[in-house]
């Protein structure tokens, strides 16, 4: 996978049936059918070890973190800060102080826009791409409205790749930040982020990557990438919802002002002024999502226990098999055919609306996502209202894909 760290070898190949059994939600019945869950890009299911770790916190360690002298508070603090160390290791960060806990990728991007972007001014430029999720468009638009900066947009080709030759043309002395998606949520495209970071750094321009769709599929090493900011969401990588990470190089985070005020992000408060805590705490105001952070670390443990080599092999097999099976359906058009993709297939079935196709599949117990996938500018480029999106995880199977293909044939007949 381009610009995602090399796969480690593993001697132990997980048993797929045992892996599936570890995810209770995969046993759910929908309209009398065992669910075939293909909505992993929206949120992935949670393994029992993650559920158990969250339950353990609430049953045995439930207390607020930091500054508590009693034993349960110390246990909670150790688990919470241990999770910070775990996520630093998961991302290859050099220092756990570079890990900021957020509510997810969206909040992480907003944090950078509100704090790092505070010094931007009229004529400054921010480069995004035409395939960005709205969460990596709207915060920069709001910043531009406040500061007079402006967006520049890297085009996307018909097959769903960045028009990489346009990027150096947009990059110039006025560029203050490049903010791009690592892996497209709606197309699955894996972007050439190493080249982008190298080009940007050649002009001294920092880079932010939206890694929400990258971290579930392969290891990411922020030091090897030399990226300035990296954002992820726990719930995409088999952890709990409502929590995520902003990685930032310490030099940037130390220079950035706080973006929210409250408890824990302060050093000393008086009515004449306040001094702020050190990183990472100056960016974490108020009581955090302690259980969510601990659960996210358990999800990181689980992924690395499975082994990235097996995860990649399993998901790429599913992507290849699904591409072949669905391509044989009359009238089906795949949107996004880049050669380097994560396990995401977006498509249309003839002239039928994606919502109608998704509704038929749901009656068959098949869960897909329909709509514009928070990438409306990209859909407008293709001249379509949206797509049906099947996004796979390592726990999916070929027989489930066979069910999807048969369900699409049935939908095509019903909706013709």
Query: Hey, what CATH topology would domain 16-39+307-415 get?
Result: 3.90.1150
Q: From start to end of 28-149, where are the E strands?
A: 29-30, 33-34, 36-37, 99-102, 125-129
Structural fold of domain 51-304: 3.40.640
**Taking each helix axis from N to C terminus, what angle separates 290-306 and 308-327, rounded to the nearest 10 degrees?**
80
pLDDT at 4: 43
According to DSSP, the residues that pair with 341 across neighbouring strands are 189
Distance in angstroms (rounded) separating the CA atoms of residues 369 and 366: 10
pLDDT at 188: 97
Task: State the DSSP string of 280-305.
Answer: TGGG--SS--HHHHHHHHHHHHHHHH
Question: Over the range 110-128, which residues count as b (16 or more CB within 10 Å of their CB) and which as e?
Answer: bbbbbbbbeebeeebbbbb
Domain residue ranges in the chain: 16-39+307-415, 51-304
What is the helix (H) or strand (E) element at residue 325, kind and residue range?
A: helix 308-327
Task: Tell the burial category of 202 from Cβ atoms under 10 Å away from its Cβ (0-12, 13-18, 19+).
Answer: exposed
Active-site residue, 144 included: no
Q: How far apart are CA 2 and CA 139, in angstroms?
A: 27
Q: Which residues of the chain have pLDDT under 50?
A: 1-11
CA distance linking residue 233 with residue 211, whole number of Å: 8
pLDDT given for residue 376 in this prediction:
95
Element at 358 (helix H, strand E) = helix 354-363
Any alpha helices (H) in 174-287, and if so which ranges?
A: 193-202, 222-225, 250-255
pLDDT at 84: 97
Q: Which two tokens stand for residue 26?
A: 């995969």
**What does DSSP say about strands 387-391 and 344-349: parallel, antiparallel, or unpaired?**
antiparallel
Pairing of strands 266-270, 273-276: antiparallel
Quote the pLDDT of residue 261.
80
Looking at residue 3, what is its pLDDT? 35
* Placement of tokens 């709001």 in the chain: 142
Catalytic residue among 99, 149, 187, 374: 374
- Maximal CA-CA distance, the chain: 72
Tell me the pLDDT tens digit for each residue of 283-314.
988 899 999 999 999 999 999 999 999 999 99
Which residues are within 8 A (CB) of 119 and not within 5 positions of it... i.e. 6 or more apart?
none
């Amino acid at each position: 996978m381009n610009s995602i760290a090399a796969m480690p070898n593993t001697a132990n190949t997980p048993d797929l049936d045992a892996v599936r059994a570890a995810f209770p939600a995969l046993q759910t019945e929908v309209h009398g059918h065992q669910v075939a869950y293909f909505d992993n890009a929206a949120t992935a299911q949670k393994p029992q070890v993650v559920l158990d770790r969250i339950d353990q916190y609430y049953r045995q360690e439930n207390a607020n973190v930091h500054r508590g002298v009693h034993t349960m508070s110390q246990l909670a603090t150790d688990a919470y800060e241990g999770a910070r160390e775990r996520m630093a290791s998961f991302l290859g960060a050099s220092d756990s102080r570079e890990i900021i806990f957020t509510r997810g990728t969206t909040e992480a991007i907003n944090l950078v826009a509100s704090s790092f972007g505070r010094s931007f001014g009229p004529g400054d430029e921010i480069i995004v791409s035409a395939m960005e999720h709205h969460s990596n468009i709207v915060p920069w638009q709001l910043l531009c409205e406040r500061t007079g900066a402006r967006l520049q947009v890297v085009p996307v080709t018909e097959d769903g790749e960045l028009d990489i030759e346009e990027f150096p043309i947009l990059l110039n002395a006025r560029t203050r930040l490049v903010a791009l998606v690592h892996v497209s949520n709606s197309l699955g495209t894996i972007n050439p982020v190493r080249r982008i970071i190298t080009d940007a750094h050649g002009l001294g321009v920092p880079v932010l990557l939206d890694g929400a769709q990258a971290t579930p599929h392969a290891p990411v090493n922020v030091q090897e990438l030399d990226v300035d900011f990296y954002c992820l969401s726990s719930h995409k990588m088999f952890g709990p919802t409502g929590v995520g990470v902003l990685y930032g190089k310490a030099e940037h985070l130390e220079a950035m002002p706080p973006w929210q005020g409250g408890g824990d992000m302060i050093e000393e408060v008086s009515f004449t002024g306040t001094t702020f805590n050190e990183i990472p705490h100056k960016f974490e105001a108020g009581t955090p999502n302690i259980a969510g952070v601990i659960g996210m670390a358990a999800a990181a443990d689980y992924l690395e226990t499975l082994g990235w080599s097996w995860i990649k092999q399993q998901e790429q097999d599913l992507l290849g098999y699904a591409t072949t099976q669905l391509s044989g359906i009359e009238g089906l058009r795949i949107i996004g055919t880049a050669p380097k993709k994560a396990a995401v297939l977006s498509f249309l079935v003839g002239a039928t609306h994606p919502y109608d196709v998704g509704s038929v599949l749901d009656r068959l117990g098949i869960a897909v996502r329909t709509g514009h996938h928070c990438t409306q500018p990209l859909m407008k480029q293709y001249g379509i209202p949206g797509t049906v999106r099947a996004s796979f995880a390592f726990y999916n199977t070929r027989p489930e894909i066979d069910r999807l293909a048969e369900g699409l044939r049935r939908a095509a007949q019903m909706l013709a």
